[in-house]
Structure 1
Amino acid sequence: MSGENPVVLRSVWPSIGFDLVTLRLLTAAAEESSFAGAAARENISLSAVSRRITDLEARLGIALFNRHDRGVTLTAAGEALIEHLRDVFVRFERMVLDMEGFRKGARGRVRVHTHMSAASSTFPTTLADFLNRHPAIELELEEHVSLDIVHAVRIGTADIGLISGRVPTKDLEVLPWHEDELIGVVPCDHPLAQRDSVTLADMAREPFIVIQRDSALINLYREQLRILGITFRDRIHAASSASICKMVSAGLGVAILPSSSVNAQDPSLRIAAITLDESWSSWPLAICYQNRENLSMAARLFVDFLLAQPPVQPAVNRFARSRLADESGAATS
């Protein structure tokens, strides 16, 4: 509330006298179930281990170990302290690796799961540029639908996710990345190919070529068709935007795709890409991860590099209409 002084938390740990050597010996004793085992592992005398841990218990005013003839076991307080120390030492390890990275140049492995839209257009060039600048960093890249990417990041099988900004991410940290546009894709000899723009209702008369069933994109226009009271006709489920465009080019149906993924396709395809005149045609892309503080230096460098790139400019690809005019002119000459 206004007028009240903010609560200031006072650091109490300096008065207890925690030091890293003692905490490391404490962790070793807990893992070895023995002061002697901790002494051997840390290359220090048994008396020094016993003295340091006993002094710490005295400063805390609680016992951290139960002493037995055959070794030691943690008390409830000791178990609680060790649980905190696991996080502490993980952070120290990451700190040391980060400093080492600054000294030698960043290195490490970053697991990236990416949505189809993110992996299209200029993204391969962006990856190549990053790896050229950081040759000691290894990127492991996998393509998945956004919902699967969110799950992978949450359980830790991916460090970074590049996803549709429309999917729920719950407890993950999310950064806006790029804004793409959804466009209609039809065969270049289709009547809709001559129009400046189309609506979903215009396209719904035709069978759709779509990405995997659980993708954010298909869920989006399936819901929009439900609102319009139109039955969704999905003829083929393809694995990539390239496959979808090839099938549209062959006259098997129509599609709705992010403009960046269409513009990255072979210009010889007989397709027309048309502005989608819908309020929901904006297609945001986002970067997600568990927690920036827990990202490795290599992963943070990659995130910062992506954010520093200029936005992908969505542009409707009208090459098919131009080619039709050229073909028509050639036929009449």
Structure 2
Amino acid sequence: MHIDLRDLNLFSLIAETKSLTRAAERNHLSLPAVSARIKDLETEAGVRLLYRAPRGVALTPAGQSLLRHARTILSEIEHMKSELQRYGEGVQGSIRVFANTTAVTEFMPEVLATFLAAHQKVDVDLQERPTAEIIRGVLDGMTDLGITSGPIAADGLEVHTFSSDRLVLAVAPGHPLAPAAAVRFSDVIDHDYIGLHEGSTLQQFVDQLMQNARRRLHIRVQVSNFESVCRMVEAGVGVGIVPESAALRHRRTMKILIKQLDEDWALRERHVLARRGEALPSYTQALIDSIMNHPGHAASRARSRKRGAH
């Protein structure tokens, strides 16, 4: 099957405008030319892509599938153009990193501030992704590195474990769970909960815990970051599960209590993932080293060893 990038652009524009006429105008083509190109595209694909009606067009299921792929391909093309332009401006390298919520919000800003200051001609594209997409992205070559937490079960990966963190429950001082020294997840389900946005790795993990328990949390509010979770907890809106590193930091400025979660899954190791056998550029290896040697990670390893001694 041969599909031209110009046809993908045209098809995406038709899907956006829901009109062959408007797509033709914006592409500076005649309506017959657009109709002919879409007919050729349908012939090449072997399926019908559009439903035609007097007031416009709609995508068939096959057309919806093509649109998803087209947008991915066109986005990658734009990313490639931007990256090549940066090389033309003197950039020596670019690193794409897929990372979970904790990495993006908690420690990668500090890691990248130090790394980029020492590597002036290297760019980093940091994207928050769910764990499954991170692993798949590394294996498929969509990203150079991945940063995850928790068990990793996938062949073809080099796994560099650099620190550990514990999930804890943040509660307000007057909350019914405040007197408890530690809580189980089953205790949390009975109370209003502050969740993260749907795309967050931690929220997906909590959603899976709910499925396993065959019960649902009452998610009162969903917010975009751990600071907002802690602020909502402080205001008495509900409780929230956050990494201990975030809870300790926000406890300095907020009236929240930290409750240990008496669950095996609460203690999580953090990993940097790379594709096994891949010859990494020196600057990519340097970023791995920066993550591994970040001072905050040494502190988390020390806390983990201290708990283990008890």
Instruction: Provide the residue aligned with 1:196 in structure 2.
Output: 181
Structure 1 residues 193 and 107 mapped into 2: Cα distance closer, same or farther (>3 Å)? farther
Aligned to 1:186: 171
Provide the rounded CA distance (Å) in 2 between the counterparts of 1:259 and 1:147: 23
Number of the residue aligned with 2:41: none
The 5 Å alignment of 1:102-251 reads 107-166=92-151, 168-213=153-198, 215-225=200-210, 228=213, 230-251=215-236
Q: Does 1:258 align with 2:243?
A: yes
Q: For 1:138 and 1:220, how far apart are their aligned partners in 2? A: 30
Shift of 1:181: 0.6
- Secondary structure of the 2:291 match is helix
Q: Report the Cα distance in structure 1 between the residues aligned to 2:158 and 2:112, rounded to whole angstroms.
A: 22
Measured in 2, the distance between the counterparts of 1:290 and 1:189 equals 48
- Residues 252-304 of structure 1 show CA distances to partners (whole Å, capped at 9, x for unaligned) of 22111111222343733332222212222111211112245332221111112
Of 183-192 and 231-240, deviating more is 231-240
RMSD: 2.9
CA–CA distance in 2 between the matches of 1:150 and 1:189?
41
Rg: which structure is higher? Answer: 1
* 266 and 128 in structure 1: CA distance in 2 versus 1, 3 angstrom threshold: farther
User: What code does the residue aligned with 2:259 have?
Assistant: I
Matched residues in 1 for 2:134 and 2:212: separation?
28
Deviations 1:125-173 (A, max 9, x none): 2222222332232222222332232233333332111112335544333
Aligned to 1:307: 292
Once the 2 structures are TM-superposed, how far is the Cα of residue 249 of structure 1 from its aligned partner?
A: 2.3
- SS, match of residue 131 in structure 1: helix
Q: 5+ residue gaps in structure 2?
A: 1-90, 305-310
Aligned partners of 2:189 and 2:218 also within 8 Å: yes
3-state DSSP class of the match of 1:265?
helix
Partner of 1:269: 254
Question: Using the alignment, how far apart are the partners of 2:181 and 2:299 within structure 1?
Answer: 19
SS of the residue 2:245 aligns to = helix
Identity among equivalent positions (%) equals 26
The whole-number CA distance in structure 1 between the counterparts of 2:233 and 2:185 is 16
Of 259, 273, 276, the residue aligned with 1:288 is 273
Kept in 2: contact 1:164–1:216 (CA 8 A): no
Distance 1:207 1:213, change over 3 A: same
Q: Structure 1 unaligned runs (5+)? A: 1-105, 317-333
Question: Within 1, Cα distance between the matches of 2:176 and 2:160?
Answer: 40
- Specify the code of the residue in structure 1 equivalent to 2:163: H
Check the 8 A contact 2:100/2:201 in 1, yes or no. no
Q: Is the 8 A contact 2:172 2:236 kept in 1?
A: yes
User: Is residue 258 of structure 2 the alignment partner of residue 297 of structure 1?
Assistant: no
Q: How does 1:4-153 map to 2 (within 5 A)?
A: 107-153=92-138
CA contact (8 A) 1:118 1:285 kept: no
Cα 1:149–1:238 shift into 2, 3 Å = farther
CA apart distance, 1:230: 4.2
1:275/1:178 Cα in 2 relative to 1: closer, same or farther (>3 Å)? same
Q: Is the 8 A contact 2:169 2:258 kept in 1?
A: yes
For the 8 Å contact 1:113–1:158, the answer to whether it is kept is: yes
Query: Contact 1:165 / 1:176 at 8 angstroms: preserved in 2?
Result: no
8 Å CA contact 1:292, 1:300 repeated in 2 = no
With over 3 angstroms needed to count, the CA separation of the structure-2 counterparts of 1:211 and 1:194, relative to structure 1, is same
Distance 2:165 2:221 in 1: 24
Q: 2: distance between equivalents of 1:122 and 1:219? A: 20
Amino acid at match of 2:222: H
Alpha-carbon distance between aligned partners in 1 of 2:220 and 2:165, rounded to the nearest angstrom: 25
8 A Cα contact 1:244 1:255, kept in partner: yes
SS in 1 for 2:160: strand
